[in-house]
Amino acid sequence: MSDIVKIVGAVAGMLASCFFLYTNFMVYQHASNVVGVINPSDPLGGSLNVVDNRHEKTDA
């Protein structure tokens, strides 16, 4: 019984983490396009793109 609970918990945890990462990425992309929010924990480098865009705007 405990093995089944462990397996179900692991699968649910993986699905939840993947779903969270996907939705967090989509929400972040929309927020960065509209507001320019910097997310320092963004693993895909979107925050660096926002920072670069801000530097270009301030330099110009």
37 and 50 Cβ atoms separated by less than 8 Å:
yes
Q: What is the pTM (predicted TM-score) of this model?
A: 0.36
pLDDT for the residue 58: 55
Which residue in 17, 53, 18 sits closest to 32, CA to CA?
Answer: 53
Taking the C-alpha atoms of residue 15 and residue 9, their distance in angstroms, rounded to an integer, is 10
Phi/psi of residue 22, nearest 5 degrees: -65, -50
pLDDT for the residue 34: 53
Amino acid at 51: V
Residues in contact with 54: Cβ distance below 8 Å, sequence separation at least 6, in sequence order: 36
| Number of domains forming the structure of the chain | 1
Domain that holds residue 15: 2-59
pLDDT for the residue 42: 53
Q: What is the pLDDT along the chain (60 residues), one digit of tens a residue?
A: 789 899 898 998 888 887 887 777 777 666 655 554 555 555 555 545 544 555 555 555
